[in-house]
Amino acid sequence: MVGIEKDILILLSKIRYVTESQLANFFGIKRSYLKRPLKRTLKKMCTEYILKKRPVNINYFGYRENSYIYYLDGSKEYQGEELLKVIIGSEIFIRMVREGYKIRRFFRNVQIDNEKYDMYIEYVDIDYNIVQILVDIEVLNKIDFSKYENLQTKVKNSTIPFIDVPDILVVSPDFSEETYLKNNYNNVNIVDFSMNKLSKYL
């Protein structure tokens, strides 16, 4: 196993699920004719039972995905809301890598005190600082800000060694004025599903 196959496996060992278009973005492939070798490699890896694939067709509040999702053979298969969260999580990882951030840790479904978060990401920013963030992906258009109360105390009850109180990144289609008025937390940032402003909060 050489070259791009190894890179795909390394990527999937970190994020577990990735779509075909996300892979193309990860490897910087923009022209359609350059995507053919990638498609052949993915087909080969599926034929050899290294990967499994299934079609996805998502159009949800500005986030569109119409290709295939790939994952290691034997991995858990997600449906519906959980599948959308998985794909959005992979999108965040890939955008961060493409923008030059070095990701040290990337965990899904982490528990902090009695609260569950969709992701924990630890990375090195462009100024070489170690940054830790928690990510919530709210696909049901409801943000429960009470979840972020007393976070300074809650992180002390976590097995994750936090350096400081982490920022919270919420990916949500809820951008109403009411939502902004409810957000009284300086460390809670909200981006929509297009994630065009993601780098602003990293």
Percent of the chain beyond pLDDT 90? 54
Higher pLDDT, 198 or 1: 198
Summarised one tens digit per residue, pLDDT across range 115-125 is 999 999 999 99
Taking the C-alpha atoms of 83, 86, 87 and 92 in order, what is their torsion angle to the nearest 10 degrees?
A: 160
Report pLDDT for 166.
94
pLDDT of residue 48 exceeding 90: yes
Report pLDDT for 71.
96
Q: Which CATH architecture has domain 1-98?
A: Orthogonal Bundle (1.10)
The CATH class that applies to domain 100-202 reads alpha beta
Structure tokens at 22: 């996300």
Strands 115-124 and 63-72: unpaired
Higher pLDDT, 131 or 183: 131
pLDDT of residue 176 exceeding 90: no
Residues 86, 202: Cα–Cα separation, whole Å: 20
Within 13 Å of residue 124, how many CA atoms lie on the same side as its CB? 5
| Partners of 53 in the β-ladder | 70
Report pLDDT for 13.
93
Residues 159, 83: Cα–Cα separation, whole Å: 26
pLDDT of residue 136 exceeding 60: yes
What ranges do the domains of the chain cover? 1-98, 100-202
Report pLDDT for 104.
96
Give 155's pLDDT tier (boundaries 50, 70, 90): very high
User: What is the average pLDDT value for the chain, to the nearest integer?
Assistant: 88
How many separate helices (H) and strands (E) can be counted in the chain? 6, 8
Percent of the chain beyond pLDDT 70? 90
Residues 188, 46: Cα–Cα separation, whole Å: 40
Q: How much is the pTM? A: 0.90
pLDDT of residue 103 exceeding 60: yes
Strands 102-112 and 130-137: unpaired
Report pLDDT for 96.
96
What burial letters (b/e) apply to 106-132, b meaning 16+ CB within 10 Å? bebebebeebebbbbbbbeeeeeeebb
Question: 41-45, 80-84, 101-105: which has the minimum mean pLDDT?
Answer: 80-84
pLDDT of residue 177 exceeding 60: no
